[in-house]
Chains A and B, each alone.
Chain A
């Protein structure tokens, strides 16, 4: 059976741990010719420079060749070709498909059609599982464990798919605590709170940001995404509501790390960048090693 990665819940806890172990190996030795002679299709139906470059770097470091497109304007989608036909065609050419698509569920559908494995590089507001795995790797690297983490999630918790997936994945590990900090309009959806309740995992909700982050092991900042708002006035109300600055980190724990899936807009002041607790740029680098690990696992190469 082929191993697609479409949703974070497609992997078991053992697979999470395997990916973490492999990512550490790739960090030690990033250039391994495991994909020599293989072709990987990188299909970006919507632009995403960071994720695409991270994947294409991972593929290059594994010695694979890349075909594909970086935006829908250069694909047959502009001629009205269906996703079905694009995937049918591309899966004839390539050994693996990495796909980003603006529509939710597109990756699951592609995986059904494709005889070669599909890795979801983001499908609308639904899933972005490789981001979650690199977030987990970043937590493991900086904290030495994935257990007993007190994770603060800040900003757009309603539409932010990365926080939803991270919450689900981290719930597999021992004794996590979640603190959700969001304005009324952008609170964590009920379905995830219900999920945590059913698993007996503690979580707390706040609308205030300051003075409560001293307990955090991880502060996961997110961008309030303008494109998710139908009413621009609503966006203006909340866009700058939580801005993390250096002074706010004064009384935080020594091990705390600031994560952000990037790109940031205003959520983290640039004066945080030089603080050793800032980790978001290294987090992005971890993405390359994690994606090498995911590709190796998906292709049964390790």
Chain B
């Protein structure tokens, strides 16, 4: 079998001409990533695949967005739930750049504060956390000053 044939068989979602492919998203977090990036609100062509085989993650999801190129700040928002995500920037069907996501210093409006007595869980306030540990993922709430740890992270 030729390499081209193998490649075609391997492709489970169609190639795009220009845009971004986000790969290595944990399958269970696909729709959260879509929400965080606001992909449910844009008019670009989007294709995604989920429950695809992944050596690293077991199962993974992949998103292809045509004619969309993300800013670093924008894409880093998904680092909390897709820390191994990789971005391929596509121009004329070729990968011209690869990017990895990085956990930002400040997380705004994505994560709920785990503290039920925090004001952000009682009024309409956009949450804001400073990342105090990127390794074990600990987020300090700007308001109640409590630390939300990785196992307590819940998205809006």
Tell me if A126 counts as interface (CB < 8 A to partner B).
yes
Q: How many CB-defined contacts (below 8 Å) exist between A and B?
A: 51
Report the contact-size class of chain B (Cβ under 8 Å from the partner).
Answer: 10 to 19
Q: Inside 8 A of B146's CB, which chain A residues have their CB?
A: 104, 126
**Could you say which of A105-113, A204-212, A278-286 contacts chain B?**
A105-113
Q: Is B119 touching A83 in the complex (CB atoms < 8 A)?
A: yes
Tell me if A269 counts as interface (CB < 8 A to partner B).
no
Q: Inside 8 A of A124's CB, which chain B residues have their CB?
A: 117, 144
Q: Is A104 touching B115 in the complex (CB atoms < 8 A)?
A: yes
Known: A108-B143, A124-B144, A126-B145. A103 touches B117 (CB 8 A): yes
Tell me if A125 counts as interface (CB < 8 A to partner B).
yes
Q: Is B123 touching A126 in the complex (CB atoms < 8 A)?
A: no
Q: When chains A and B are docked, how far (Å) is the Cα of A108 from the Cα of B119?
A: 9
Indicate which residue in B124, B145, B147 contacts A105 across the interface (CB closer than 8 Å). B145
Q: Inside 8 A of B115's CB, which chain A residues have their CB?
A: 104
Tell me if B120 counts as interface (CB < 8 A to partner A).
yes
Q: When chains A and B are docked, how far (Å) is the Cα of A103 from the Cα of B146?
A: 12
Q: Inside 8 A of A84's CB, which chain B residues have their CB?
A: 123-124
Q: When chains A and B are docked, how far (Å) is the Cα of A7 from the Cα of B146?
A: 13
Q: How many residues of A contact B (CB 8 A)?
A: 18
Tell me if B101 counts as interface (CB < 8 A to partner A).
no
Q: Is B119 touching A106 in the complex (CB atoms < 8 A)?
A: yes
Q: Inside 8 A of B124's CB, which chain A residues have their CB?
A: 82, 84
Q: Is A103 touching B118 in the complex (CB atoms < 8 A)?
A: yes
Tell me if A127 counts as interface (CB < 8 A to partner B).
yes
Which residue from chain A places its CB closest to the CB of B115 in the assembled complex? A104
What are 26 inter-chain pairs, A to B, with CB distance below 8 A? A83-B119, A83-B123, A84-B123, A84-B124, A103-B119, A104-B115, A104-B117, A104-B118, A104-B119, A104-B143, A104-B146, A105-B113, A105-B118, A105-B120, A105-B142, A105-B144, A106-B143, A108-B143, A109-B123, A109-B143, A123-B144, A125-B117, A126-B144, A126-B146, A127-B145, A191-B147
Interface residues of B (CB under 8 A from A): 113, 115, 117-120, 122-125, 141-147
Interface residues of A (CB under 8 A from B): 7, 82-84, 101-106, 108-109, 123-127, 191
